């Protein structure tokens, strides 16, 4: 009886008198003696503490065994430690074991169960440690969302909006997005004034506001309303969501859902551009070029086009290449032009592919190479680029970079002519005159197949 009372006393003493910080003190042996009996008797907090002590003494296997005992009982610090151990302590993450402990937390944790449910849902989305399964992702995400986990509510809204793991349902998406809405209590979006949003961190509330704006802008699950959409975009923009800042800015410039105001439009697009949003950087550059909402400024035009190009935005890369070819706002440099055209062409930008073909044809920034010119022109022509079709027709006609083929020349010029290019109409008619009736008939049959 005395022994039992002593164990109980030690358990109570260690629970109330020994903070976890004590295990990092100098007298480890005393601490171990105090908490070891209660750890042996199944007190989860002391199993965890004892495990940490053993890790400190470099008894890693024993230490993690004690922490695992505590985690198995649902002690949340131990669960978190096990997850971190499997994700970060080895040469490579062990997602399978991490997912095991995340699921354990999702089922047994008392204080942070929704956090683990959300994390487990994410694991099923990514297929990390578990087989990718959107239905199970929805199941766990919904449990977390119902427990007021804001990120889970946002993710669940996305699942319904995109039909991932559930039938597409825009009304459900709207409802879950609104769960994250600070103004949901009064049933309408907040009317924000324009403020400096640079220091505001992006939240999932803001992201949900943006998604709500998209639903109202497109009339998905709600009655279409550009005005309500803009109020949501404004809320998200103030919360720092760059996509919303860009959309709001574009709406101000176009007068869509708000009174037309180019200065406000440029203000919000600049916010997004300064936050690294590539499309906004590209558009801001064009605003400076045209002097819309901002003073006309060619240096800033080139600067922001360059920023977007460096981020991999293909239209900006092509535009920068064109600037280097033209040499009006920056020094002419054909080699740099080729570099930027190549970057955009690699992203399947058909106009960049056409321009790159021209550079190879003329030998600007590269050696003249008609085969390379034909290669890039064909890439662009296959995407229905009218100028590439016209150029490719000329190359077939003259046998430049490809075997001479009058029938293919007729087909390509006809395709370009069908898009209204006058030069192609003239070229097509000239080629038709040099074709025999049999060749013309064959070319028209080939054209009919390409036009399908």
pLDDT in tens, 241-263: 999 999 999 999 999 999 999 99
- Cβ burial 365-395 (10 Å sphere, 16+ → b, else e): bbeebbebbbbbbbbbbeeebbbbbbbbbbb
**pLDDT confidence of residue 5:** 40
Grouping H, G, I as helix, E, B as strand and the rest as coil, residue 372 is: helix
Is residue 135 one of the residues assigned to a domain? no
Distance between CA atoms of 416 and 397, rounded to whole angstroms?
15
Is residue 446 one of the residues assigned to a domain? yes
The number of domains in the chain is 1
CB atoms under 10 Å from CB of 218, counted, come to 12
DSSP state of 165: S
Is residue 63 one of the residues assigned to a domain? no
How far lies 177's CA from each of 161, 172, 278, in Å? Answer: 10, 9, 26
Is residue 419 one of the residues assigned to a domain? yes
Distance between CA atoms of 12 and 18, rounded to whole angstroms?
10
Distance between CA atoms of 230 and 249, rounded to whole angstroms?
10
Task: Judge contact between 173 and 221, C-beta under 8 A.
Answer: yes
CB neighbour class for 304 (10 Å; exposed up to 12, middle 13-18, buried from 19): buried
- Which residue shows structure tokens 């960049």? 352
Grouping H, G, I as helix, E, B as strand and the rest as coil, residue 227 is: helix
Is residue 396 one of the residues assigned to a domain? yes
Q: List, in order, residues 6 or more apart from 445 with CB less than 8 Å away.
A: none
Rg of the chain over CA atoms, in angstroms? 32
**pLDDT confidence of residue 303:** 98
Residues of the chain with pLDDT below 70 are 1-28, 30, 181-202, 451-452
Domain with 423, as residue range(s), is 387-452
Task: Judge contact between 281 and 273, C-beta under 8 A.
Answer: yes
The model carries a pTM of: 0.80
The vertex-444 CA angle with 438 and 449, nearest 5°, equals: 130
DSSP state of 192: P
- Cite the DSSP H helix spans in 131-275: 134-146, 150-162, 170-179, 204-218, 226-238, 242-254, 262-274
Q: List, in order, residues 6 or more apart from 178 with CB less than 8 Å away.
A: 184, 208, 212
Is residue 100 one of the residues assigned to a domain? no
Is residue 354 one of the residues assigned to a domain? no
């Amino acid at each position: 009886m005395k022994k039992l009372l002593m164990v109980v006393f030690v358990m109570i003493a260690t629970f109330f008198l020994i903070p976890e910080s004590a295990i990092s003190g100098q007298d480890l042996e005393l601490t171990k003696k105090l908490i070891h009996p209660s750890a042996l008797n199944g007190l989860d907090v002391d199993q965890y503490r004892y495990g940490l002590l053993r890790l400190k003494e470099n008894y890693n296997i024993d230490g993690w065994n004690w922490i695992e005992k505590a985690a198995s009982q649902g002690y949340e610090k131990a669960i978190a430690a096990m997850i971190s151990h499997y994700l970060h302590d080895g040469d490579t993450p062990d997602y399978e074991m991490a997912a095991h402990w995340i699921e354990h937390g999702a089922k047994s944790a008392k204080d942070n169960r929704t956090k683990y449910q959300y994390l487990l849902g994410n694991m099923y989305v990514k297929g990390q440690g578990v087989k990718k399964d959107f239905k199970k992702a929805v199941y766990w995400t919904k449990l977390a969302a119902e427990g007021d986990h804001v990120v889970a509510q946002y993710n669940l809204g996305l699942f319904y909006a995109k039909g991932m793991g559930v039938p597409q349902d825009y009304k459900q998406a709207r409802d879950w997005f609104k769960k994250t809405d600070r103004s949901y209590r009064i049933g309408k979006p907040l009317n924000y004034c324009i403020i400096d949003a640079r220091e505001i961190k992006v939240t999932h509330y803001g992201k949900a506001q943006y998604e709500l704006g998209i639903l109202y802008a497109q009339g998905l699950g709600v009655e279409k309303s550009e005005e309500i959409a803009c109020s949501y975009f404004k809320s998200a923009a103030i919360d720092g969501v760059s996509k919303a800042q860009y959309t709001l800015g574009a709406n101000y410039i176009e007068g869509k859902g708000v009174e037309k105001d180019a200065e406000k439009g440029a203000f919000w697009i600049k916010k997004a551009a300064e936050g690294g949003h590539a499309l906004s950087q590209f558009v801001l550059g064009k605003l400076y070029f045209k002097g819309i909402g901002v003073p006309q400024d060619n240096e800033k035009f080139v600067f922001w086009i360059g920023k977007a190009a460096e981020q991999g935005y293909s239209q900006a890369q092509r535009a920068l290449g064109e600037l280097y070819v033209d040499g009006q706002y920056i020094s002419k440099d054909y080699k740099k032009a080729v570099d930027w055209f190549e970057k955009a062409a690699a992203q399947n930008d058909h106009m960049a592919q056409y321009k790159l073909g021209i550079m190879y044809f003329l030998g600007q920034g590269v050696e003249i190479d008609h085969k390379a010119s034909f290669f890039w022109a064909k890439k662009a022509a296959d995407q229905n680029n009218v100028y590439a079709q016209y150029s490719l027709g000329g190359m077939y006609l003259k046998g430049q970079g490809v075997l001479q083929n009058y029938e293919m020349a007729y087909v390509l010029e006809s395709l370009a002519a069908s898009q209204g290019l006058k030069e192609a109409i003239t070229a097509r008619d000239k080629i038709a005159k040099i074709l025999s009736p049999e060749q013309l008939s064959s070319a028209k049959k080939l054209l009919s197949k390409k036009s399908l």
